[in-house]
C-alpha cells in the first residue's frame, strides 16, 4: 500500500449500507484525528447510470458498473463491500488477492465454508479486515461492557438478547432474503447482530441449543404468483458461555409486527442489572441492588462527552448521536488500525465466529440437540 496522507476508498454498492459507508469515510477525518485521510475515489453499482447518480450525490470522484475494475484500480487502497451477502466472498477474495484492505458488511458469508475460506485467505495474506457490526461501536454498548467487566453489577447470572424487526411480517413479498444461498433467514440476516452483541458483552460461546421456525412457507412474487420459502422467519436459542455458569437466551425475528428496530439486551447480575434498547441507543438502564427500600428502580445513564466516542460529535450530553455516527466510529477504528499496522477488533476471524455460532444453532434445530462450538469447523 502506498504511504501518503490519503487512502483511496472504493465502495461496492450504493444502497442503505453503501450510503452509510460513504458517509463514514467522508466524515471520519472531520471528527477524528487520522494521519491518512480516506478519499471517496470510486463507487461501483449496476446499472452504470445508477452508479453515476449515486457517486455524484455521495461525493465520489468516479463511478463504474464493474466491481472488479474498482478492486484493481491502483488508486484504491480500501475496498468496501456493501452488496447482497452471496457476493461477499468473491469480492473479498478478489480484493485480498489484489492486496487491498477489506471492509465488509455482515454477515461475512452465506455459509461456513465460504467464511473459512475468506478468513484464511486474509490471514495468509496479512490483510487488515473489518466486518460491519457497527452497533458494537455505540458508547453505551462499550459502557455496558466496562460495567460488566468491572464487577459493578456483580456476578452475571442471566442474559437475554434480541434483534427483531417487522419488515417481513404479514406475508411480505418474496425477496433475496428468502434465498438459502443468499444466507437469508432471520438468523443469518439480523440474528447475527444479536449473537455478536452477546459475544461482545459476555465472551466466547461454548454451546447452543436452537430452534428455527418458518412461519410463511411461501411468499407472493411480483408477477402475481408465489415461491416456496426454505429459510427461517425467526430463531430462538439457548446459549452457554465459556466464562459464565448460566444459560442465556438469544432471539431474533423479522416478523415482529410493529417493531422498526428492536435490538437490545437484559443482563442480570448478583448486585444489579443492565437494560439496553437500540431504539434509544443513547441511553443505558442500570439497577443497583443496594438501593434503599422505597427508592428502588432503574437509573438512566445518558450518553455524553464523558463516554468515549460521543464527545467528538457533540460536546453536550443528552443531545444524542445517530446511526451514521456509529458507522463513522467503526471507520475510525479501521483507520487507526491501518495507521498502526494492526488487525481490527472485529475482523474476518471474529465474524467467522458469529457464522460458526449460527451454523451450530442451525444444526441444533435440525438435529434437535445441544451443539458444542468445538463441533463446528474453524
Choosing from 133, 154, 186, the residue where a domain stops is: 133
Q: Are residues 176 and 126 in the same domain?
A: no
Q: Are residues 78 and 43 in the same domain?
A: yes
Mean of pLDDT over the chain: 95
Choosing from 133, 165, 193, the residue where a domain stops is: 133
According to DSSP H, which parts of 268-373 are helical? 323-340, 348-367
Residue 377 domain-assigned?
Answer: no
Q: Are residues 165 and 306 in the same domain?
A: yes
Q: Please give the Cα distance from 376 to 366 (Å, whole number).
A: 15
Q: Please give the Cα distance from 252 to 171 (Å, whole number).
A: 17
Residue 89: name the closest of 119, 64, 67 by CA: 119
Residue 110 domain-assigned?
Answer: yes
Q: Are residues 116 and 216 in the same domain?
A: no
Q: Is the pLDDT of residue 208 over 60?
A: yes
Using one digit for the tens of pLDDT, what is the confidence trace for 149-201? 999 999 999 999 999 999 999 888 998 888 887 767 899 999 999 999 999 99
What is the domain count for the chain?
Answer: 2
Using one digit for the tens of pLDDT, what is the confidence trace for 28-64? 999 999 999 999 999 999 999 999 999 999 999 999 9
Residue 348 domain-assigned?
Answer: no
Over range 76-85, report the average pLDDT: 96
CATH number at residue 75: 3.40.50.720
Expressed as residue numbers, the domain containing 121 is: 6-133
Q: Is 339 left (phi over 0), alpha (psi -120 to 50) or beta?
A: alpha
The mean-pLDDT minimum among 2-11, 68-77, 137-146 falls in: 2-11
Q: How many CB atoms lie within 10 A of CB 245?
A: 9
Q: Are residues 71 and 46 in the same domain?
A: yes
| Contacts with 231 (C-beta within 8 Å, 6 or more apart), sequence order | 177, 178, 179, 180, 184, 185, 188, 214
The partner residues of 102 in beta bridges, in order of sequence, read: 79, 129
Residue 376 domain-assigned?
Answer: no
Q: Are residues 274 and 260 in the same domain?
A: yes
Amino acid at each position: 500500500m502506498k504511504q501518503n496522507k490519503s487512502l483511496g476508498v472504493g465502495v461496492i454498492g450504493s444502497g442503505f449500507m453503501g450510503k452509510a459507508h460513504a458517509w463514514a469515510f467522508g466524515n471520519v477525518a472531520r471528527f477524528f484525528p487520522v494521519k491518512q485521510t480516506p478519499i471517496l475515489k470510486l463507487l461501483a453499482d449496476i446499472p452504470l447510470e445508477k452508479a453515476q447518480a449515486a457517486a455524484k450525490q455521495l461525493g465520489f470522484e468516479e463511478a463504474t458498473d464493474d466491481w472488479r475494475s474498482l478492486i484493481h484500480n491502483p488508486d484504491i487502497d480500501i475496498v468496501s463491500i456493501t452488496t447482497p451477502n452471496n457476493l461477499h466472498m468473491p469480492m473479498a477474495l478478489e480484493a485480498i488477492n489484489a492486496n487491498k484492505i477489506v471492509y465488509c458488511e455482515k454477515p461475512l458469508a452465506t455459509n461456513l465454508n465460504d467464511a473459512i475460506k475468506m478468513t484464511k485467505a486474509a490471514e495468509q495474506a496479512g490483510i487488515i479486515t473489518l466486518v460491519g457490526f457497527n452497533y458494537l461501536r455505540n458508547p453505551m454498548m462499550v459502557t455496558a461492557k466496562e460495567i460488566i467487566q468491572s464487577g459493578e453489577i456483580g456476578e452475571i447470572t442471566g442474559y437475554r438478547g434480541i434483534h427483531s424487526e417487522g419488515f417481513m411480517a404479514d406475508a411480505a413479498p418474496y425477496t433475496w432474503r428468502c434465498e438459502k444461498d443468499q444466507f437469508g433467514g432471520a438468523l443469518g440476516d439480523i440474528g447475527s447482530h444479536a449473537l455478536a452483541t452477546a459475544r461482545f458483552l459476555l465472551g466466547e460461546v461454548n454451546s447452543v441449543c436452537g430452534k428455527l421456525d418458518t412461519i410463511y412457507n411461501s411468499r407472493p412474487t411480483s408477477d402475481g404468483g408465489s415461491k416456496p420459502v426454505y429459510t427461517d422467519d425467526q430463531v430462538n436459542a439457548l446459549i452457554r458461555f465459556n466464562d459464565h455458569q448460566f444459560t442465556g437466551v438469544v432471539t431474533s425475528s423479522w416478523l415482529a409486527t410493529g417493531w422498526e428496530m428492536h435490538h437490545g439486551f437484559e443482563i442480570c447480575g448478583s448486585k444489579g442489572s443492565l437494560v439496553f434498547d437500540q431504539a434509544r441507543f443513547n441511553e443505558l438502564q442500570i439497577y443497583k441492588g443496594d438501593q434503599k427500600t422505597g427508592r428502588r428502580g432503574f437509573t438512566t445513564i445518558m450518553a455524553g462527552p464523558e463516554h468515549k466516542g460521543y464527545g467528538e460529535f457533540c460536546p453536550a450530553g443528552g443531545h444524542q448521536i445517530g446511526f451514521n455516527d456509529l458507522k463513522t466510529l467503526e471507520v475510525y477504528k479501521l483507520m487507526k488500525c491501518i495507521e498502526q499496522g494492526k488487525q481490527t477488533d472485529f475482523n474476518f476471524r471474529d465474524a467467522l465466529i458469529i457464522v460458526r455460532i449460527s451454523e451450530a444453532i442451525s444444526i441444533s434445530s435440525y438435529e434437535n440437540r445441544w451443539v458444542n462450538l468445538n463441533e463446528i469447523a474453524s
